[in-house]
Chain A
């Protein structure tokens, strides 16, 4: 890394910024794999344990989402602490939507004390998407300011207000998101640059299905030298059905799904195509779902293989929310199993 010296200056006595497994894997030069675990809309710890069992051993760290899409769920910190007990390394997600700078800093202290070592700093979806659209949002800070605050707590031992942080500082490996295809597209590499400048050690991108468009983004990222200052993990996710693929293509901002992939998903369901709902037996429907899922997983594996060839891509972030079972075959199929052990 070109700014190795700065990293070393900031590093702890053990040579790492945070010493998380994710940091160790990335700094050792391995192609990293992260996954995602969505906490339940309940206080049921068992749900986390079951999902954790599906992911253990198949990723270097797992993102624990923070009230994703503005729907109330078990807190990211709480769920992350359980995941940690289950032998996973969590990446605690933190959005700016629900907390002000006081709450965010105190949560960072508490999370570190519980043993969490990675944080992903996000702006957060607007609450109008979720189940409490009447809520008052916070947005005291934005994601870039949050990144900077976490970095300053770690590297300069100060709170956001400038007061010194006396005693143990929270040492997080700091992540940020990138949306290569959101508007204005020309500005996206520069926005990533701002996140890196603010202190992002790793980046997880929005879902990539259009490898060509992503390559163009990465070209600009490399021209800015960002891939040498941060680790970039490309976001991937298995498609579940042609309907889901089309929905993402048309409805979800910042995601490009090429028609060719939708056609592949449709082809996978071809034996059952053209039939009316009533004509399909339960078994038919099940077989079609399996065929779609297999194709979705296969496409995901191919995407990982293509993304791996792009210079500056240090790993993949697999988003298979509510389909954690898919992670194992994807990681195995992409030749990324077993995961490296770095001490």
Chain B
């Protein structure tokens, strides 16, 4: 899932300070599961903002609504009327949700209430960890299902580097060394030969380095009107 966390209240207040009517829009998918921008968080944030702006002596009109997925047009259509009534939309979606609102409602100013942080999973209650950097050319088949691009601090393909010690990465004792994890897993699966091959430099074109990415599936596209 996409993992995000809420921005500090002060920063959010500064982003919406010039608006009278604010619409807080939550999202019912990834950010709900990571407790950052779902229905519940949207309601709590709206209440906090209401109280805080009132205490400041500059009360703002704060409403809130949550859609199932901010990143799809059809769900955004459902809140078109509320959006029209607001001066500003405070999105509690991930960065994709914020941009979907901006694109779908070109006349409306939209600001982010979250910091979109990474693609990951909850490793235990209250802890989320990064797992994928969406590099566009997945090599998990070589590394026993552990991603060195996202989980090695240097994205090494022929690790581990000389900074690996006692299973943790040189950057911090709290960061597991991805290459130690890969080594352990390949050892336990009797596949260490995979580590003996030299992996050539990665083709980063499929990653963000190739420019903004796009997938076109001709098999799924709707026929154009002329046809």
**A residues adjacent to B (C-beta < 8 A):** 96-97, 101, 123-126, 128-129, 137, 139-145, 148-149, 160, 177-179, 182-184, 187, 190-191, 193-194, 197-198, 206, 253-254
Indicate if the CB atoms of B204 and A123 lie closer than 8 Å.
no
Minimum Cβ distance to chain A for residue B109 (Å): 29
Complex: A302 Cα to B183 Cα, angstroms: 36
Q: Majority SS of interface residues in chain B?
A: loop
Indicate if the CB atoms of B201 and A160 lie closer than 8 Å.
yes
Instruction: Name B200's contact: one of A128, A145, A182, A253 (CB within 8 Å).
Output: A145
Q: A126-B170, A148-B198 are in contact. Are A182 and B156 (CB under 8 A)?
A: no
Instruction: Name B162's contact: one of A97, A128, A137, A179 (CB within 8 Å).
Output: A179
Indicate if the CB atoms of A182 and B160 lie closer than 8 Å.
yes
Q: B154 to chain A: which residues have CB within 8 Å?
A: 96-97, 123-124, 126, 137, 139, 142
Count of chain B residues with Cβ under 8 Å from any Cβ of A? 28
Minimum Cβ distance to chain B for residue A203 (Å): 12
Residue of B at shortest CB range from A148? B198
Indicate if the CB atoms of A183 and B164 lie closer than 8 Å.
yes
Complex: A187 Cα to B186 Cα, angstroms: 12
Instruction: Name B164's contact: one of A128, A142, A149, A182 (CB within 8 Å).
Output: A182
Indicate if the CB atoms of B198 and A197 lie closer than 8 Å.
yes
| A-B pairs with beta carbons under 8 Å apart, 23 shown | A97-B154, A101-B201, A124-B154, A125-B170, A126-B153, A126-B154, A126-B171, A139-B154, A141-B201, A143-B158, A145-B200, A145-B201, A148-B198, A178-B162, A182-B164, A183-B164, A183-B177, A184-B183, A187-B195, A197-B198, A253-B164, A253-B165, A254-B165
Q: B199 to chain A: which residues have CB within 8 Å?
A: 145
B184 at the interface (CB under 8 A from A): yes
Q: B159 to chain A: which residues have CB within 8 Å?
A: 142
Q: A123-B154, A194-B196 are in contact. Are A140 and B201 (CB under 8 A)?
A: yes
Minimum Cβ distance to chain A for residue B184 (Å): 7
**B171-200 toward A: CB 8 Å interface, digit per residue (1/0)?**
100000100100110000000000110111
Indicate if the CB atoms of A142 and B157 lie closer than 8 Å.
yes
Complex: A182 Cα to B161 Cα, angstroms: 8
Indicate if the CB atoms of A253 and B162 lie closer than 8 Å.
yes
B84 at the interface (CB under 8 A from A): no
Q: A148 to chain B: which residues have CB within 8 Å?
A: 198, 200
Residue of A at shortest CB range from B200? A145
B155 at the interface (CB under 8 A from A): yes
Instruction: Name A194's contact: one of B163, B177, B198 (CB within 8 Å).
Output: B198
Indicate if the CB atoms of A184 and B158 lie closer than 8 Å.
no
Indicate if the CB atoms of A253 and B180 lie closer than 8 Å.
no
Q: B171 to chain A: which residues have CB within 8 Å?
A: 126, 128
Q: B204 to chain A: which residues have CB within 8 Å?
A: 140
Residue of B at shortest CB range from A190? B196
B120 at the interface (CB under 8 A from A): no
Q: A197 to chain B: which residues have CB within 8 Å?
A: 198
Q: B195 to chain A: which residues have CB within 8 Å?
A: 187, 190
Residue of B at shortest CB range from A181? B165
Complex: A315 Cα to B204 Cα, angstroms: 39
Indicate if the CB atoms of A183 and B156 lie closer than 8 Å.
no
Q: A142-B156, A148-B198 are in contact. Are A184 and B180 (CB under 8 A)?
A: yes
Complex: A254 Cα to B180 Cα, angstroms: 14
B218 at the interface (CB under 8 A from A): no
Minimum Cβ distance to chain B for residue A321 (Å): 16
Indicate if the CB atoms of A254 and B158 lie closer than 8 Å.
no
Minimum Cβ distance to chain A for residue B94 (Å): 22
Q: B166 to chain A: which residues have CB within 8 Å?
A: 183
Q: A183 to chain B: which residues have CB within 8 Å?
A: 160, 164-167, 177, 180
Q: A126-B153, A126-B170, A194-B198 are in contact. Are A206 and B162 (CB under 8 A)?
A: yes
Indicate if the CB atoms of B160 and A191 lie closer than 8 Å.
yes
Q: A139-B154, A139-B156 are in contact. Are A184 and B201 (CB under 8 A)?
A: no
Q: Which 7 A-B pairs have the closest CB atoms?
A: A179-B162, A253-B165, A144-B158, A183-B164, A142-B156, A139-B154, A123-B161
Q: A128-B171, A194-B198 are in contact. Are A145 and B162 (CB under 8 A)?
A: no
Task: Pick from A129, A142, A160, A191 the residue with the most CB of B within 10 Å.
Answer: A142
Q: A125-B170, A126-B170, A126-B171 are in contact. Are A187 and B160 (CB under 8 A)?
A: yes
Complex: A128 Cα to B153 Cα, angstroms: 10
Complex: A184 Cα to B185 Cα, angstroms: 12
Q: B200 to chain A: which residues have CB within 8 Å?
A: 145, 148
Q: A177 to chain B: which residues have CB within 8 Å?
A: 162
15 extra interface residue pairs, beta carbon distance < 8 Å, beyond A126-B171, A179-B161, A179-B162 = A123-B156, A123-B162, A126-B170, A128-B153, A142-B159, A145-B158, A145-B198, A182-B162, A182-B164, A182-B165, A183-B160, A190-B196, A198-B198, A206-B162, A254-B163
